[in-house]
């Protein structure tokens, strides 16, 4: 393989795996996938892992098994530390790799907007580790609440404030409300309904699901209010200290739990020119996803802000579809002759968000109409099942959801804490 063109792909999310898939085992290329985890996972469903409605293995799958049978692809476990473009080399936490072409598909990380208290004490929702940590927190605090005699302390312990009313915030607040109504009093008979605390959903903009249509926003707001979620719009979280959430309107909320779903930013790595970074710390690229200032480094998906798509002058939304489509386009270009390369144009396939059982919204691409309720919920289920990486995960997830739909319950509420080993 030494005489082949080596492409190193950093990041095994939507874009990274789609790029490898579309390189089609070409004998011209040697592909090396680098990731700090040894598994791919499906981010849109980590909120179900965090609330005990799904097991982690249902939405994750080992990279080495994904790549099994691919003649030109290998996996390297490691975390990117630095890029050295002049030497065509990247430095990992466990060694170095040389490349002929580098593809950055590193996604995003949680953005705490510089607030140290929020970063230290809040609960992020970005990775499988975050989801398992949140699951442990939820059910540890529920058990602790059964031992408390002070009603005010119980309520503070079981009040959840969710910052960010995008899809993740909406989905979390909806599933928390359904848990409170259908599960918790059955599992924790020591607690009365008034002990279970409040669910707050906050956002600095004037609507939930700000990126979707006004009809979807209105329907979602109404359904969440009907579930008992307390929604505060045009309101930012300014601090989180002493188990108190401080808000931009001067009010406070007594709560031990602040779940941070308020924003993300691309990851920054040493070695890139500062001029190569644009809005949201995303790498600026041309219409072929080539990073500004380089001849053999490309960026895909959430970490890229592409110039040349007139419909999206500020960059494409940080969603799965732009990442998948960019990866497919870049792979097609690399497999073709240089004079036949096609610029990337995003084909919007619409937006979906789930609120709860039988409740979801869908905005089709042209927004001529919108779909709500049970039909949108079925479409959401189909799209997310098809987005999982393999058939086994699809079947397992469908089985879990059928069980929840029939019984309004699931059984993955175990508190599993790994032991530290020396």
Q: What is the pLDDT of residues 283-294, one digit of tens each?
A: 999 999 999 999
Mean pLDDT of the chain: 92
Task: Provide, rounded to the nearest whole percent, the portion of the chain with pLDDT above 90.
Answer: 77
State which fold the 5-110+265-340 domain adopts.
FAD/NAD(P)-binding domain (3.50.50)
Give residue for tokens 């600095």: 204
Q: How many CA atoms lie within 13 A of 380 on its CB side?
A: 25
* Common-topology check for domains 5-110+265-340 and 116-262: yes
What is the SS3 string spanning the chain? CCCCEEEEEECCCHHHHHHHHHCCCCCCEEEEEEECCCEEECHHHHHHHHCCCCCHHHCEEEHHHHCCCCCCEEEEECCEEEEEHHHCEEEECCEEEECCEEEECCCEEECCCCCHHHHHHCEECCCHHHHHHHHHHHHHHHHHHCCCCCHHHHHHHCCEEEECCCHHHHHHHHHHHHHHHHCHHHHCCCCCHHHHCCEEEECCCCCCCCCCCHHHHHHHHHHHHHCCCEEECCCCEEEEECCEEEECCCCEEECCEEEECCCEEECCCECCCHHHECHHHCEEECCCCEECCCCCEEECHHHEEECCCCCCCCCCCCCHHHHHHHHHHHHHHHHCCHHHCCCCCCCCCCEEEEEECCEEEEECCCCCCCEEHHHHHHHHHHHHHHHCCCHHHHHHHHHHHHHHHHHCCCCCCCCCCCCCCC
pLDDT of residue 1: 47
pLDDT of residue 367: 67
Q: What number of other Cβ atoms are within 10 A of residue 65's Cβ?
A: 14
pLDDT band at 420 (very low <50, low <70, confident <90, very high): low
CA-nearest of 97, 238, 217 to 169 is: 217
Residue 422 has pLDDT above 70, yes or no: no
> Which of the residue ranges 13-27, 86-100, 101-115, 180-194 would you say has the lowest mean pLDDT?
180-194
CA-nearest of 116, 137, 155 to 238 is: 116
Instruction: Write down the domain spans for the chain.
Output: 5-110+265-340, 116-262
Task: Provide, rounded to the nearest whole percent, the portion of the chain with pLDDT above 70.
Answer: 98
The answer for residues whose C-beta is within 8 angstroms of residue 102's C-beta and 6 or more apart is 7, 8, 10, 83, 88, 90, 296, 297, 298
Residue 107 has pLDDT above 60, yes or no: yes
Q: How far apart are CA 280 and CA 111, in angstroms?
A: 10
pLDDT, one tens digit per residue, over 144-194 is 999 999 989 999 999 999 999 999 999 999 999 999 988 898 899 999 888
Sign of the Cα pseudo-torsion (403, 405, 406, 409, in order): positive
pLDDT of residue 310: 86
State which fold the 116-262 domain adopts.
FAD/NAD(P)-binding domain (3.50.50)
The answer for residues whose C-beta is within 8 angstroms of residue 247's C-beta and 6 or more apart is 202, 232, 235, 236, 237, 238, 253
pTM of the predicted protein model: 0.91
Stretch 77-89: mean pLDDT, rounded?
97
What are 309's two structure tokens?
Answer: 């798509």
């Amino acid at each position: 393989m030494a005489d082949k063109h080596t492409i190193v792909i950093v990041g095994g999310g939507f874009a990274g795996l789609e790029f490898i898939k579309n390189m089609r085992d070409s004998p011209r290329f040697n592909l090396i996938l680098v990731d700090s985890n040894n598994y791919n996972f499906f981010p849109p469903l980590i909120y179900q892992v965090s609330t005990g409605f799904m097991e982690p293995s249902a939405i994750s799958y080992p990279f080495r098994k994904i790549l099994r049978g691919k003649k030109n692809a290998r996996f390297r476990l490691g975390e990117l530390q630095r890029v050295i473009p002049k030497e065509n080399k990247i430095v990992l936490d466990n060694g170095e790799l040389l490349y002929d072409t580098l593809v950055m598909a590193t996604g995003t990380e949680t953005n705490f907007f510089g607030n140290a208290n929020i970063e230290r004490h809040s609960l992020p929702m970005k990775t499988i580790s975050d989801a398992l940590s949140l699951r442990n927190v939820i059910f540890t605090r529920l058990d602790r609440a059964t031992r408390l005699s002070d009603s005010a302390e119980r309520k503070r312990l079981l009040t959840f404030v969710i910052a960010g009313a995008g899809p993740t915030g909406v989905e979390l607040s909806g599933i928390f409300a359904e848990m409170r109504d259908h599960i918790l009093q059955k599992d924790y008979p020591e607690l009365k309904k008034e002990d279970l605390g409040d669910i707050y959903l906050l956002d600095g903009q004037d609507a939930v699901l700000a990126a979707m249509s006004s009809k979807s926003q209105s329907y979602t707001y109404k359904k969440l209010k009907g579930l008992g979620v307390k929604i505060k719009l045009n309101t930012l979280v300014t601090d989180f200290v002493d188990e108190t959430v401080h808000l931009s309107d001067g009010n406070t909320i007594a709560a031990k739990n602040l779940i941070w779903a308020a924003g993300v930013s691309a990851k920054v790595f040493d070695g890139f020119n500062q001029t190569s970074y644009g809005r949201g710390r995303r790498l600026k690229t041309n219409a072929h996803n080539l990073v500004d200032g380089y001849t053999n480094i490309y960026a895909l998906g959430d970490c890229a802000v592409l110039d040349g798509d007139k419909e999206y002058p500020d960059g494409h939304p940080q969603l799965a579809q732009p990442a998948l489509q960019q990866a497919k386009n870049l792979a097609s270009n690399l497999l073709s002759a240089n004079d036949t390369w096609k610029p990337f144009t995003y084909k919007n396939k619409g937006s979906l968000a789930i609120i709860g059982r039988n409740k979801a919204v869908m905005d089709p691409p042209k927004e001529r109409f919108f779909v709500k309720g049970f039909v949108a919920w079925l479409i959401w289920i189909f799209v997310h099942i098809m987005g999982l990486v393999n058939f086994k995960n699809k079947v397992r997830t469908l089985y879990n959801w059928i069980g929840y739909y029939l019984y309004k319950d699931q059984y993955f509420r175990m508190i599993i804490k790994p032991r530290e080993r020396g």
